[in-house]
Structures are given as structure tokens and as C-alpha cells.
A and B are shown apart, each in its own frame.
Chain A
């Protein structure tokens, strides 16, 4: 039986839910630079700081590049850090994203997914975080503000786990989630503090051959991030890959532990399978579109169509086995990508789902729909059409077009 803590419901938008989760997670350093639609997170948090509700050093830097650099540096001293960004801001962090992961600094960042320039657009799509999929940051995509709150709390546990030590991005859809009020169930402060706990620092062999805590500490001098050529660079990169593999089991375990506390679960923490047990056709997506899609699935199911949805909660690490297992019965799959890999013949999620399904026992048809770029709405009608296409593919065994743009003027 689940031990569900007493919780309070607050009307919060996604940004406020994140600020609250940060407040409860005993974060030591927050550094950020404002960008729509992330601003509310930092503004709300600056109020907590100023009101003395948290014991956090808070820095408004002069750019995102400096914000992440400050977090990286603080994290390297062994403390807990957080930042938030989006779009051009995340792109400007690109250089330091790799440095953060390479230094194994468990920074947690909220990304309010927003389109990239040009043309300038402040609305939702996933181009900003999808391009960072190779940066060795764990990526969690949330469906609603509740999950944003829950995932931030879990993120610290995952990032700081000694087997993982990788930074985490919690990605939420611009405006659809960042600015939309929702009832969010909130755990008591002490419960969250206890769950997140103190950051534990593993021991490493230092310069003098002694075992020292892996942090910048004058008492135990250590250099983090020095020159590392063809002698050891490759091994360090290999370790990052192993850490990503460890991240998968850690995410499941932390998600489960949190589930026992809160009564809330999102699939197994890696994938959230919706009505897939016996599904013939299915879509795959990340983010808030899953909410709309679930309602379409319900309507189709009521009509006897065996439709389902696979929502990826983590895109990094990519849960290959879970993807394959969840889609076992499915004969036609449509992957919905809210970003495009220009010239790459489809979006990033599509590529990876096809890759995951290549070794499936019965390989299904896999098609791709690029949708919602720059905040274009994804109404139920378009999602219904996608399922109709899938039914046709399943019946005829024919695919007319593998990659299509849904909801665009052609």
C-alpha cells in the first residue's frame, strides 16, 4: 500500500510550480538570466530569497552563458545548484552544457521549451532542447505542471546520485504549461527536504594519490576539467555513457520512491504508456501534447479502435527496451515531433523510435508528423487524423509518406 503524504493543492502555473519545488529542495545557488517564458520561475524564486524563505545564493548574471558557468562552478564546490532557460538562452549555454556534463556537475535546469530564432518566436516547440540531446544532460519532458513540480524534486536525486553525476534538464512546454494555471498537489516542505536530502559527494583519487571528495575544496586540492588529450579523454567520455546507462535505473528507482510518497507515478518514470496493452495503432510524443492525445485515444477506444499512446518521459537516456516492449502489439506507429531535423528526413524522436524498433520482433510501420512549430496549436482534430492515417496504413500495409507536416499551410 502506498504511504501518501498529506498534500495541499495550490493553483500554480508550471513556472510557479517549479519555483516552489526549488524552494523546497534546499538549493544552495541559483544563477539565471531572464528569458520568456522562463522568467516567472526566477522572479518567483527571487521573492523567496528576498523574503528569507530559502537560504540560497541568488545571482542574476549578464547572460545565460554566465548563468550556467556560475552554476557549474558552484556545483563543482559540492553544493546544489539550479538554473532555468529556454530557446536562444539555452543555445547560448551550449558550450557550457558540454562542460557541465563533462565535469560531472549535477546541475538541474528547467527548460521552458521555446522555438529558436530566426524568425523570432516566443512560443512552444522543442527545437531548443532537442538539439542538446547529445550534450550528456539527462532530459525529462513533462506533461503538466504537476509533473514539472514532481520531476524537479526527483531531478536532484537523480543528478546527484553517485552512480550518475550528470546534469538534468526538466523540459516543459512554453505557455501551455509555463503560464497556465493548474491545481498542483504540493508535498510538505520537510517531506521534500527529507526526500532530496543532502548532496552526497563520492570519493575520487586526488593528485596526491589520496582518496578525496570529488569537489573543489581547499582542504583537499583537486583540479576539475583540465586538459585531457588522447591519453584519457576517450575514457572520460566512455564513463559519461556508462553514467547515462546508470541514470535509467536511477530514474526508475527515484520515481518509484517518490511515487510511494506522493501517490503519483508517470509510467515507470522513463515511459508513460497509455492504453497500449493490446493496441494496434499508437502515437509517440513528449510534453503536453500527450494530454490532448490521451483524450483522443479515449474517444477512439470508446468506438472500439485499439489506439494507444506512448509518452516518452525521458529522452536522454533513451529507454530503448521500454519503447520496444510498450509498442510490442502495435502495427503502425506515428511519432509526433515538435521540432525538425532539417534535411534529416524527420524529427529527432522519429529517428530514435525507428532506431529502437528496428530490432523489434515484429517491426511495425513507423511514420512521422512534425507539428506545432513556433507554438502552432495541436488540436484533437489533427491528432484524430493521424490515427485515421495509422488505421489506413495498418489495413493496407501501405505507407504513402513517411514524414509529414501536420497543421501547416502547404
Chain B
């Protein structure tokens, strides 16, 4: 046995681009847990990796697209969803997953989110919500809670944050769930479910940012943040998303929306097939 045989292999190593390791994420960052849950979901579903596409925008979590060992694309900031829409429409066989941040998906890219959900484009959006723009040094964004301290809110945030699951539900998503990085098994199950479901899905993952947001807001170490998640998470089924506002004392988690509705791609294909049939019928008249 040589040394190489003795070296430990990560059980999910084949899903990662080893040459891109080590990753850039800080110690204790929730992004690793999110990515791991996604890869475990792929592994358990034994999906053909050639049919999986991962697309990210810019941000710390956006690096995920470069780490996964499947076809992937790192778009400009905010444009992951329109890119994913193009991929899905061009090749409906693919399972198209967007892994991106709260800032990328809901600030600069917010318009794309609501319209893709409205059209019910069959893409799966996994959002790492760390309540700030981690990559650019911790500025506030559209999910930053009121009063939170960020580099651009030195006396506390006065802007009301989005409630992402409510936004997804109101915009037309067929599946909307929220977890923290503590509930890894539920998170994985949720990703598996979304991957097997047709239509626009959002999985919001409340994720620690120990290096910036959590430190500025004195939330403690990554472990302490996980303990906080444990303390304040409340699992519900089909809870009214409008009421699932995140506060310091309560994070409602679970599946908020799980409905069936034909996707945009399906309707488009059905319609073009029908029009073609009608035209052919007319021509043979």
C-alpha cells in the first residue's frame, strides 16, 4: 500500500473539482454545508451528472458553480436566473439549479426572480441567505434584518427586509421552503424533492457568515450561530408564508408552498405542437 492509498477521500469528492480546492470560504461559513447538502442530494438520487447544470451569480456562495464537477456557469452579478432560463429552454432534459446569494438573487437580480417564478420556469433556486453582501465586505442588502449592523448601516438597518418564501409564493413558485444550515437532513430532502418536481422552486438556506455579518452583529462563533438556529427554529408544515417573518427570536422553517402547476417550458412546447398540428391540418384541407 502506498501513501496515496492511505489518503482519506471525501465521500463526495467525485462531485467536486479537486483542482479548485481549497475553496475560498471562511471557516464556519454556511456555504460548505449548503453545497454538501446539494451534493448529497445528487448522490442519493443517483442522477446522471451530465444532465445537471449549476449556475451561480457573483458572491461568496457564487463560487459554488466553479466547485461542482458538473457543467456550470458563473454569470455576472444578478443574472443567474435569466441564464438558467435560457439553459432550461434550450435543453428541457437538463435539471437546472441556481445556487446564489441573497444579494445576487434579490437585490440586483430581483426582477429576474419574480418573473421566472411568475412564468414557472422549471429551475431550482437555492439561496444562501446570510443577510448581507458577504463578498464585498458586509454591506446591507434586501434580506438584512431591521436594526442589523453592516458596513453601510453603522447605526443599524432601517430598511424592511424581504420575506423570501412569501415573495416566492406570491410570485408563483410551485415550491418554497426555508431551512437553516442546522437542519441538514431536511435541507437535503427538500433539495431532492425540488429536483424531482416540475416548476420554479426556491429553497432558502439561512446560512452563517461568521467572518463578517455574524461578527459585526455579535452573534458569536459559527457554533454559537448554529446553537442560535437550534434555539429559534420552528418547524411547521404549510405555514402561511406571509407570516413567516424572520426575527431574532423566531425563524419559521419548513415547506411553505408545494403545489403542482405546468411549467412554462411544458406549456410552450404543448402550444407550439398544437399550433403546428393545426397548421398542418389546414394545409391538408
Interface residues of A (CB under 8 A from B): 33-36, 39, 42-43, 46-47, 50-51, 60, 62-64, 88, 92, 117-118, 120
Q: A43-B152, A46-B154, A88-B77 are in contact. Are A63 and B136 (CB under 8 A)?
A: no
- Hey, which chain B residues are within 8 Å of A118, CB to CB? 76
Q: How far is the CB of B204 from chain A (nearest CB, A)?
A: 18
| Residue contact B154 to A50, C-beta cutoff 8 Å | yes
Which of the residues B78, B108, B151 comes within 8 Å of A43, measured between beta carbons? Answer: B151
Instruction: Beyond A36-B135, A88-B76, list 14 extra A-B contacts (CB 8 Å).
Output: A34-B137, A34-B139, A35-B136, A39-B151, A43-B151, A43-B152, A46-B151, A47-B154, A50-B154, A51-B154, A92-B108, A118-B76, A120-B58, A120-B74
C-alpha gap A85/B133 in the complex (Å) = 16
> What is the minimal beta-carbon distance from B40 to any residue of chain A, in angstroms?
28
Q: Which residues of B contact A34 (CB under 8 A)?
A: 133, 136-137, 139, 152
Complex-state Cα separation, A262 to B139, whole angstroms: 35
Contact, CB under 8 Å: A50 / B136: no
Task: Compute how far the CA of A63 lies from the CA of B107 in the bound complex, rounded to whole angstroms.
Answer: 7
Q: Which 8 A-B pairs have the closest CB atoms?
A: A63-B108, A62-B107, A50-B154, A34-B136, A43-B151, A46-B152, A34-B139, A50-B155
Q: Are A39 and B139 in contact (CB under 8 A)?
A: yes
B107-125 CB mask vs A (1 if < 8 Å, else 0) is: 1101000000000000000
Distance, CA A60 to CA B144, complexed state (A): 12
Q: How far is the CA of A92 from the CA of B79 in the complex (A)?
A: 12
Cβ-defined contact, A39 with B136, below 8 A = yes
In this complex, the member of A34, A35, A39, A117 whose beta carbon has the largest number of chain B beta carbons within 10 angstroms is A34
Could you give, for residues 132-145 of chain B, a 1 whenever the CB lies within 8 Å of some chain A CB and a 0 otherwise?
A: 01011101101000
Look across to chain A and name the residue whose beta carbon is closest to the beta carbon of B74.
Answer: A120
Instruction: Please report the C-alpha to C-alpha distance between residue A118 and residue B154 in the assembled complex, in whole angstroms.
Output: 34
Using a Cβ–Cβ cut-off of 8 Å, how many residues does chain B contribute to the interface with A? 20
Q: Which residues of A contact B154 (CB under 8 A)?
A: 46-47, 50-51
- CB<8 Å pairs between A and B, sample of 30: A34-B133, A34-B152, A35-B136, A36-B135, A36-B136, A39-B136, A39-B139, A42-B152, A43-B137, A43-B139, A43-B152, A46-B152, A46-B153, A46-B154, A47-B154, A50-B154, A50-B155, A60-B139, A62-B110, A62-B142, A63-B78, A63-B107, A64-B108, A88-B76, A88-B77, A92-B108, A117-B76, A118-B76, A120-B58, A120-B74
- With a 10 A CB-CB cut-off, give which of A36, A42, A120 has the most chain B CB atoms: A120
Chain B residues with Cβ below 8 Å from A36 are 135-136
What's the nearest-Cβ distance from chain A to residue B217, in Å? 16
Q: How far is the CA of A60 from the CA of B107 in the complex (A)?
A: 11
Which chain A residues border B76 with CB–CB below 8 Å? 88, 117-118
A contact residues around B135 at 8 Å (CB): 36
B136 to chain A: which residues have CB within 8 Å? 34-36, 39
Which of B77, B78, B137 makes the CB contact (< 8 A) with A39?
Answer: B137
Task: Output the nearest chain A residue to B135 by Cβ-Cβ distance.
Answer: A36
Q: Residue A60 contacts which of B58, B77, B110, B152 (CB distance < 8 angstroms)?
A: B152
Q: Give the shortest distance, in Å, between A269 (CB) and chain B (any CB).
A: 33
* Complex-state Cα separation, A120 to B151, whole angstroms: 25
The residue on A at minimum CB distance from B58 is A120
Interface-central residue, B58, B135, B136, by most chain A CB under 10 Å = B136
Q: Give the Cβ gap from A395 to chain B, nearest Cβ, in Å.
A: 48
Instruction: Compute how far the CA of A35 lies from the CA of B153 in the bound complex, rounded to whole angstroms.
Output: 17
Residues of B within 8 A of A92 (CB): 108
Q: How far is the CB of A146 from chain B (nearest CB, A)?
A: 25
Closest residue on chain A to residue B157 by CB atoms: A60
| Complex CA distance for A227 and B137, rounded to whole angstroms | 41
Cα of A232 to Cα of B206 in the assembled complex, Å: 54
B108 CB contacts on chain A under 8 angstroms: 33, 62-64, 92
Closest chain B CB from A127 CB (angstroms): 14
Q: B133 — which chain A residues lie within 8 A by C-beta?
A: 34
Q: How far is the CA of A118 from the CA of B75 in the complex (A)?
A: 9
Residue of A nearest to B109 (CB): A63
Complex CA–CA separation, A42 to B139 (angstroms): 10
C-alpha gap A241/B159 in the complex (Å): 42
CA distance A299 to B140 in the complex (A): 49
The smallest C-beta distance from B225 to any residue of chain A, in angstroms, reads: 23
Q: List residues of chain B with CB within 8 A of the CB of A63.
A: 78, 107-108
Q: In the complex, A33→B139 CA distance in Å? A: 9
Closest chain B CB from A294 CB (angstroms): 33
In the complex, how many angstroms separate the beta carbon of A159 from the nearest chain B beta carbon? 25
- Nearest chain-A residue to B136 (Cβ)? A34
How distant is A48 from chain B, measured CB to nearest CB, in Å? 10
B43-102 at interface with A (beta carbon < 8 Å): 58, 74, 76-78
For the complex formed, measure the closest distance between the CB of B147 and the CB atoms of chain A, giving whole angstroms: 14
Residues of the B chain whose Cβ atoms lie less than 8 Å from the Cβ of A50? 153-155
Q: Least Cβ distance of A206 to chain B in Å?
A: 36
Which A-chain residue is minimally distant from B144 (CB atoms)? Answer: A60
Residues of A within 8 A of B140 (CB): 60
User: Closest residue to A47 on the B side, CB-wise?
Assistant: B154
Nearest residue (CB) in B for A33 is B108
Bound Cα distance A50, B58 (Å): 28
Closest to B62 in A: A120
Chain A residues lying within 8 Å of B74, measured Cβ to Cβ, are 120
Bound-state CA distance A34–B104 (Å) is 12
CA distance A33 to B140 in the complex (A): 10
